[in-house]
Amino acid sequence: MPRTLRKCPGGTIFHVLNRAVARLEIFEKPEDYAAFMLAVEETFAIVPLPIYSMIVMPNHWHFVVHPTDDRQVSEFFRRLTLTHTMRWHAHYQTSGSGHLYQGRFKSFPVQQDDDHLLWLMRYVERNALRADLVKSAEDWQWGTAYLRRLSQSKRPSWLQLPQGFSLPRNWRSLVNQPLTEKEADAIARSMRRGSPYGHAQWATQSAIRLGLESTLRSRGRPKKEMKKQ
């Protein structure tokens, strides 16, 4: 049976990520990254999903996207992952050796009418800096921090921003500054639990709307009630 589409309704911003199986490195040299970036460009030409921020790391990637319809996210990342996997195996002559990714992509709704979107975009764009792969976030060529340095005519068509929205003038400086412990913990919790990322009330409402109530509950077995004697 075909897999059901993930529930990623149009009009909602999503943080999307996927990791290599066993977290092995699948991007080892510049050509590996370039091949993935080409796949992004080709996929966007077929499924024009607006991308606000992204980065490719040695064993995983992050995207911040804003679908215009309910099928875009699933169609875009299904096609992107399949294309990249097939080309990777063909290049390394490992066809039939197993999966490249842990599984289907993960997606988390993001609040867009306050600073949560900016905090998430900062988190994504400074990933390579946080991992000590570069001295400045914009030095990592396979992410939007670098692409924003290019002139408008040289930026890929898929790199977009919400209509009427602009990044702070000191965006490059902000990306190179660590997030606060509170900001980083909230993003990590969203990724760990698969829960909406935003203020508590918004997260609860979004979880109910998208059927994600279980992601807001504390994990572990509930405490047993003591029986009255």
Q: Pick 19 or 226 by higher pLDDT.
A: 19
1 falls within a domain: no
Angstrom distance (rounded) from CA 28 to CA 36: 12
Mean pLDDT for 42-64 is 97
7 falls within a domain: no
Angstrom distance (rounded) from CA 196 to CA 110: 6
Mean pLDDT for 179-200 is 93
The count of structural domains within the chain is 1
pLDDT at residue 98, as a whole number: 74
DSSP string, 60-126: EEEEEE--SSTTHHHHHHHHHHHHHHHHHHHHHT-TTS--SBSSS-EEEEE--SSTHHHHHHHHHHT
pLDDT at residue 95, as a whole number: 74
| pLDDT single digits (tens) 114-163 | 899 999 999 999 999 999 999 999 999 999 999 999 998 999 999 998 88
Please say whether the beta carbons of 84 and 91 come within 8 A: no
Six-digit token string for 154: 């040289």
DSSP string, 129-174: HHTTS-SSGGG-SSBHHHHTTS-GGGS-TTB---TT----TTHHHH
131 falls within a domain: yes
Structural domain range at position 91: 13-206
Q: Give the domain CATH number at 101.
A: 3.30.70.1290
pLDDT at residue 229, as a whole number: 42
139 falls within a domain: yes
Q: How confident is the model at residue 165 (pLDDT cuts 50, 70, 90)?
A: confident
55 falls within a domain: yes
127 falls within a domain: yes
pLDDT at residue 3, as a whole number: 52
- The pTM of this model reads 0.90
219 falls within a domain: no
Six-digit token string for 77: 């990342």
pLDDT at residue 224, as a whole number: 52
136 falls within a domain: yes
